[in-house]
Amino acid sequence: MSFFKKIFSKEKKETLDKGLEKTKTSFFDKLTTAVAGKSTVDAEVLDDLEEVLITSDVGVETTLKIIERIEARVAKDKYVGTSALNEILREEIAGLLSETNLVNESEFTIPTNKKPYVLMVVGVNGVGKTTTIGKLASQFTKQGHKVVLGAADTFRAAAIDQLQVWADRVGVPIVRQEMGSDPASVAFDTLKSAVAQDADVVIIDTAGRLHNKVNLMNELTKIKKVMQKVVADAPHDVLLVLDGSTGQNAFEQAKQFTLATEVTSLAVTKLDGTAKGGVVIGISDQFKIPVKYIGVGEGIEDLQVFNKVEFVDSFFK
């Protein structure tokens, strides 16, 4: 990119490019149609661009923000050719992402001053929550960190069993109880076990129920309070996992969860199987919560640290 230094390895970049292929193709097919036969960016082109962004799941409010910024540039420069529209869009979207995603990491990292570093994962069933936990455990383990998993989604036996499969696959310990057990009790036992084992990272899975926001809020609050009896400032990160392929439904899930608990970071999964990758831009902008990870494939290595530079570069490549 002309305005950022790229930092991904060739292999990671190729995976990201491939993962965003459907989104990119769909977006630019629409954009090409919108500017066909036009030489300058005028009101009609901007109206068409607005439709392109909204139908690409960027979201209405974020789309209007992007359009306003482009309008300001057109007014300032007097003449902007449609040939320059790609670069302008690229710069404005990168600018939006930079407002929320201040850190530009390329590797999986944890703070060195938190031990154990406690990560609580939230999200509705089916978004790839447990899979994301398993992939995170794998990545942290590869870096030499000692990881402990906690199966606090005790409302579904399948969730406990699925997390056990990942624990076995990655080779990390898991703390679990029977289905129907108190989730806070599992979280408490997990942290006690992690401290006793001198673990570096604890990842707690939680139930993905949204039908009763009050119950969800009470449950997550209880889990936090109980964990703080063991690790005073736990959790250090509350990661909300969203399914990127659901488009605008992911916005609604983000809204509901941010009302129920304090969410400090986001993971957007399943971007490889959808043309709705624009949802990453809108969610990051609207909720002012950094996107920490994105899923661009089924393999363990296909969960990537979200890097705004590389994302925008792949989107407009």
pLDDT digit string (tens) for 99-134? 888 766 778 888 889 999 999 999 988 899 999 999
What domains are defined for the chain?
A: 10-100 (1.20.120.140), 117-307 (3.40.50.300)
| Length of the chain measured in residues | 317
pLDDT mean over 43-69: 92
Q: Would strands 303-305 and 291-295 be described as parallel, antiparallel, or unpaired?
A: antiparallel
> What tokens appear for 106 in the block?
């390329």
* pLDDT computed for residue 7 by the predictor: 62
pLDDT tier for residue 1 given thresholds of 50, 70 and 90? very low
Q: SS3 letters for 198-242? A: CCCEEEEEECCCCCCHHHHHHHHHHHHHHHCCCCCCCCCEEEEEE
Structure letter (DSSP) for residue 40 = B
Kindly state the percentage of the chain with pLDDT values over 70: 95
- Residues 229, 209: Cα–Cα separation, whole Å: 25
- Residues 214, 201: Cα–Cα separation, whole Å: 29
Does residue 3 have a pLDDT over 50?
no
- Residues 238, 129: Cα–Cα separation, whole Å: 13
* pLDDT computed for residue 189 by the predictor: 98
pLDDT mean over 295-302: 88
Does residue 204 have a pLDDT over 80?
yes
- Residues 136, 224: Cα–Cα separation, whole Å: 21
Rounded to 5 degrees, φ, ψ at 240 are: -95, 125
Structure letter (DSSP) for residue 83 = G
Q: Within 13 Å, how many C-alpha atoms sit on residue 136's CB side? A: 30
Residue 241: other Cβ atoms inside 10 A? 25
Separation of first and last alpha carbons in the chain: 9
Nearest CA-CA partner of 263 in 307, 211, 220: 220
Does residue 236 have a pLDDT over 70?
yes
* pLDDT computed for residue 273 by the predictor: 85
pLDDT mean over 47-71: 92
